[in-house]
Structure 1
Amino acid sequence: MANIASQKKRILRSERERLENRRYTSALKTQLRHLEAAVKAGDSAEIETAQRKYTSLVGKAVKAGALHRNTGSRKIAGAARLVKAAAAA
């Protein structure tokens, strides 16, 4: 642990921010699993809902700084690709 007061505060703040970022990334993984399950089931209404939720969550994570904007775009594009492949099959 640091001896300088401002550094102690910075360590605590960094930990809070790290946990917040983990919440976002964990929620993204969970929502992607929901989308994949909907695609596997073939329920078009559920696919649309899951994709909308996933896209919204990615946008929120980017806005909060948990993800870089290019990473967010890549994740959204990957989800769209998944849905498009399901629609084609």
Structure 2
Amino acid sequence: MANNKSAKKRILISKRNTLQNRFYKSSVRTLTKRFLKDLEIYKDSKSNSDKEKVQIVLNSIYSLIDKGSKKNVYHKNTAARKKAKLAALLKAAI
């Protein structure tokens, strides 16, 4: 247990950051799964509505990754790698 004021504060900050990290990482994982599922649907149908749905999910993933990178949840190269991987999957499907 923490014995001084600064150690107690660090514990609180650590808990806050853990929740923030968990939110961004789990949200990105969930949206990535939805993106992959929608991408498979688009590969089969090739309809414009499915393409728009895939693009909307991709944009929201990009937004979360960028915000997470800005708040030091992701390293900038990790964020770039994740975004590039998703963009390559979309490009291969089109």
Report the alpha carbon displacement of residue 9 of structure 1 after superposing the two structures with TM. Answer: 1.2
Q: What letter is aligned with 1:16?
A: R
Q: What letter is aligned with 1:39?
A: L
What is residue 79 of structure 1 aligned with on the other side? 86
Q: Distance in 2 between matches of 1:49 and 1:29?
A: 16
Q: How many residues align?
A: 87
Q: Which runs of 5+ in 1 are unaligned?
A: none
Report the alpha carbon displacement of residue 55 of structure 1 after superposing the two structures with TM. Answer: 0.9
Give the alignment's TM-score, normalised by structure 1.
Answer: 0.91
Q: Which runs of 5+ in 2 are unaligned?
A: 43-49
Computed over aligned residues only, the root mean square deviation of the Cα atoms, in angstroms, reads: 0.9
What is residue 15 of structure 2 aligned with on the other side? 15
Matched, 1:47 2:74: no
Give the alignment's TM-score, normalised by structure 2.
Answer: 0.87
Q: Distance in 1 between matches of 2:5 and 2:56?
A: 47
Q: What letter is aligned with 1:51?
A: L
Percentage of pairs with the same residue: 38
Matched, 1:61 2:54: no
Q: What letter is aligned with 1:49?
A: I
SS in 2 for 1:2: coil
Q: Distance in 2 between matches of 1:9 and 1:54?
A: 32
Could you tell which deviates more after superposition, 70-79 or 43-52?
Answer: 43-52
